[in-house]
Amino acid sequence: MSVDFLIKRAKEIQVVIDSHALEIEKLDQEIGDGDHIFNIQRGIKLVIELEPIIKDLSMSKALNQISMKVLSGIGGSSGALFGTLFMTMAKSGNLDKAIDYKKGIEMFASGVEAVKQRGKADVGEKTMMDVLIPVADCLKKGIQNNKNPKDLMREAIETAEKGMLSTKNLLATKGRASFLGKRSIGHIDPGARSSQLMIKTVCTSILNS
Ligand code: ADP
Ligand code: MG
């Protein structure tokens, strides 16, 4: 895994998120303030624009640049949460060395753990954590059990989808949607949907590589 891998995935994610923009916008209009799609699209654009600056850097330095851009350039909860994800990934381990598949998973899992601490949300609170935590757990378990990488990617895609769909019937207890109380029930969480789409995109690429 290299900086080139990150940039390529960001470009693929941009296409997928753009093609679901109306759907994600509507989800955040229903239980939030409607800006989630704007925040995510802006974040992706900022990351892609970093290409000339980060392409020859080590993975840790590139991830650090990405985290600072995301933290300073995106509004809403998403900026702080995704900024934390990248910042923690940048710090986890000796990233001047090449990153293999297992290390990539460990980095992602430690990033998700930091996001959980930062947002103080766990599974069942109707946020992006309903996708990120089960996916990180599934990936960690997969590498511990030496699961075939392609099977593990398929499992991660299914886990993300299940987590995203689970948010529909949950009562929001964190984030803006929690202000709605019981009225939050019956809608998929926008952050869960965008996270699920991003995970699906990255895992599909690895699956097809
Ligand atoms: P804001 O809610 O500040 O307008 P966004 O619209 O960009 O920010 O992001 C909303 C998403 O952020 C929600 O759909 C939810 O998934 C996620 N979210 C909100 N609060 C938290 C939290 N404490 N922990 C994890 N995710 C959260
Ligand atoms: Mg919002």
Q: What is the pLDDT of residues 123-162, one digit of tens each?
A: 999 999 999 999 999 999 999 999 999 999 999 999 999 9
Give the model's pLDDT for residue 50.
98
Whether the per-residue pLDDT at 26 is higher than 80: the answer is yes
Predicted local confidence at residue 197, as pLDDT: 98
According to the model, what pLDDT value does residue 93 have? 66
**Dihedral, CA atoms, 198, 199, 201, 204, nearest 10 degrees?**
180
Cβ-based burial of 188 (10 A; exposed 0-12, middle 13-18, buried ≥19): buried
Q: CATH number of the domain that 51 lies in?
A: 1.25.40.340
Number of folded domains that form the chain? 1
Angle 79-133-90 from CA coordinates, rounded to 5°: 50
Of 40-54, 62-76, 91-105, the poorest mean pLDDT is in: 91-105
Atom of ligand 1 nearest to the CA of 31: 14
pTM score, whole prediction = 0.97
**CA pair distance 23, 28, nearest whole angstrom:** 9
Report the pLDDT averaged over residues 20-25.
Answer: 98
Cα 90 to middle of ligand 2, angstroms: 26
Instruction: Please report the pLDDT score of residue 92 as a whole number.
Output: 87
Q: Name the residue of 36, 171, 180, 199 whose CB sits within 8 Å of the most ligand 1 atoms, as the mutation to test its pocket.
A: 36
Tell me the pLDDT band of 1, cut-offs 50, 70 and 90. confident
Domain range for residue 74? 3-207
Average pLDDT score over residue span 37-61 = 95
Query: For residue 96, what pLDDT is reported?
Result: 67
What atom in ligand 1 is closest to the CA of residue 128? 16
List residues near ligand 1 (CB under 6 A): 28, 32-33, 35-36, 39, 76-78, 81, 119-121, 127-129, 174-176, 189-192
pLDDT the model gives residue 27: 98
Task: Determine the distance separating the centroid of ligand 2 and the alpha carbon of 33, expressed in angstroms.
Answer: 4
- CA 76 – ligand 2 centroid, Å: 6
CA-closest candidate to residue 17, choices 53, 48, 63: 48
